[in-house]
């Protein structure tokens, strides 16, 4: 399934609650048969429910909570793959790794089997499942679940993180200002990231180029407080890199 088309279908159904094959085919410049296949795949993932001529949100409301994460996962997917390939160069055999609940960190997981005997501690619910698929030793931070982003947060998560001394942390956030401030809209997620950074030898921000220059209301830290920024774009032209 085309990732951009899938993202646009999910965005549309999240807003409108119902969509038709005919409208989607016209808007997305795709054949109706392609749209039907897309909807069938999304239904298998329990994100939508197909009806005659189109689809609706699942009646139990779970899809309305899962879809925002799926949209984030599909955003800038090419950039995230490039960042993941760069990130794995900072991982060594026997490392202990912190991963936050971001979709950027999640995309590193398929590359982790390139290293041996890793231990991963993560606050991401989807990451827990994916790490299990790759048979990587995994520890959940535990904590309170934020349903919209499938992140574990709060005091229990902090306590788990504080028990470990990691070799490297990989995390993301919503914005990196040109003067080097890392910001987000979720204080709860930021507090978890701060704990991971504090208890890790090295910490790298995974930052797609589209996030650079953005600044949101909650401060995470300054770029000078971490080991570096991993992006798909050349960072040397930005003030924070000097």
Tokens for 209?
Answer: 């180029």
What pLDDT score was predicted for residue 68? 66
Domains in the chain, number? 2
Separation of alpha carbons 238 and 207, rounded Å: 13
Q: What are the structure tokens assigned to 101, written together?
A: 């609940």
Tell which of 15, 44, 74 closes a domain: 74
Q: What are phi and psi of 43, to 5 degrees?
A: -70, -40
Give mean pLDDT, residues 92-99: 98
pLDDT band (50, 70, 90) for residue 105 = very high
Residue 33 belongs to what domain range?
A: 3-74
- The CATH number for 13's domain is 1.10.10.10
- pLDDT at 16 (0 to 100): 82
| Residues 58, 32 share a domain | yes
| pLDDT value, residue 9 | 86
pLDDT number for residue 109 = 96
Q: What does the pLDDT read at residue 93?
A: 97
Q: Which of 74, 103, 135 is the last residue of a domain?
A: 74
Considering 74, 99, 132, which residue would you say is the last residue of a domain?
Answer: 74
Residues 96 and 67 in one domain: no
Strands 166-171 and 96-99: parallel
pTM (2 d.p.)? 0.74
Phi, psi (rounded to 5 degrees) for 139: -125, 130
Average pLDDT over the chain reads 90
90 in the same domain as 62: no
Q: What is the mean pLDDT of residues 142-153?
A: 93
Rounded CA separation 95/207 (Å): 22
| 107 in the same domain as 167 | yes
Q: 23-75: per-residue pLDDT in tens?
A: 998 988 889 999 999 899 888 877 788 899 988 877 655 565 566 666 666 66
Report which of residues 72 and 97 the model is more confident about: 97
Residues 68 and 148 in one domain: no
Are both 10 and 99 inside the same structural domain?
A: no
Using one digit for the tens of pLDDT, what is the confidence trace for 165-211?
Answer: 999 999 999 999 999 999 999 999 999 999 999 999 999 999 999 89
For the segment 123-132, the average pLDDT, to the nearest whole number, is 95
CATH of the domain at 165: 3.40.50.10470
User: What is the structure's pLDDT at 202?
Assistant: 98
Q: Where are the beta strands (DSSP E) in the chain?
A: 18-20, 48-51, 54-57, 96-99, 119-122, 137-140, 144-146, 151-153, 166-171, 175-176, 181-184, 200-206, 218-222, 228-230
Report how far residue 51's alpha carbon sits from residue 28's, in angstroms, rounded to the nearest whole number.
Answer: 20
Question: Are 46 and 64 in the same domain?
Answer: yes
Give the model's confidence band at 88: pLDDT under 50 very low, under 70 low, under 90 confident, else very high: very high
Asked if pLDDT for residue 99 goes beyond 80, the answer is yes
Same domain, 183 and 97: yes
Residue 25 gets which letter from DSSP?
H
Rounded Cα distance between 146 and 144, Å, is 7
Asked whether residue 84 falls in the same domain as residue 192, the answer is yes
Q: What is the DSSP letter of 95?
A: -
- Say whether both 81 and 190 belong to one domain: yes
Query: Does one domain contain both 134 and 236?
Result: yes
Stretch (H or E) spanning 2: none
Are 16 and 84 found together in one domain? no
Q: Are 127 and 110 in contact (CB under 8 A)?
A: no
Residue 235 has pLDDT above 60, yes or no: yes
Mean pLDDT along residues 197-226: 96
- pLDDT at residue 67, as a whole number: 66
Average of per-residue pLDDT across 217-232: 96
Residue 234 in this model has a pLDDT that exceeds 80: yes
Cα dist. 22→8, 14, 28, 170, 226 in Å?
15, 18, 10, 42, 49
CA distance 203 to 205: 7
């Amino acid at each position: 399934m085309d990732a951009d088309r899938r993202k646009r279908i999910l965005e549309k159904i999240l807003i409108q609650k119902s969509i038709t094959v005919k409208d989607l085919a016209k808007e997305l410049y795709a054949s109706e048969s392609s749209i039907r296949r897309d909807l069938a795949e999304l239904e298998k993932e329990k994100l939508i429910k197909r009806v005659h001529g189109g689809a609706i949100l699942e009646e139990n409301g779970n899809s309305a909570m899962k879809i925002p994460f799926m949209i984030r996962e599909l955003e800038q997917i090419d950039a995230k793959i490039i960042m993941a390939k760069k990130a794995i160069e900072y991982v060594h055999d026997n490392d202990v790794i912190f991963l936050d609940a971001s979709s950027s960190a999640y995309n590193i997981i398929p590359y982790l089997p390139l290293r041996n005997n890793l231990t991963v501690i993560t606050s991401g619910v989807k990451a827990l499942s994916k790490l299990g698929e790759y048979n990587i030793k995994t520890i959940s931070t535990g904590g309170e679940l934020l349903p919209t982003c499938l992140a574990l947060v709060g005091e229990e998560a902090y306590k788990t993180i504080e028990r470990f001394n990691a070799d490297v942390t990989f995390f993301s956030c919503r914005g990196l200002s040109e003067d080097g401030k890392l910001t987000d809209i979720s204080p709860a997620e930021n507090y978890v990231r701060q704990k991971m950074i504090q208890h890790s030898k090295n910490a790298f921000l995974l930052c797609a180029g589209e996030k650079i220059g953005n600044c949101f209301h909650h401060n995470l830290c300054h770029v000078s407080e971490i080991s570096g920024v991993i992006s798909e774009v050349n960072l040397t032209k930005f003030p924070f890199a000097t």
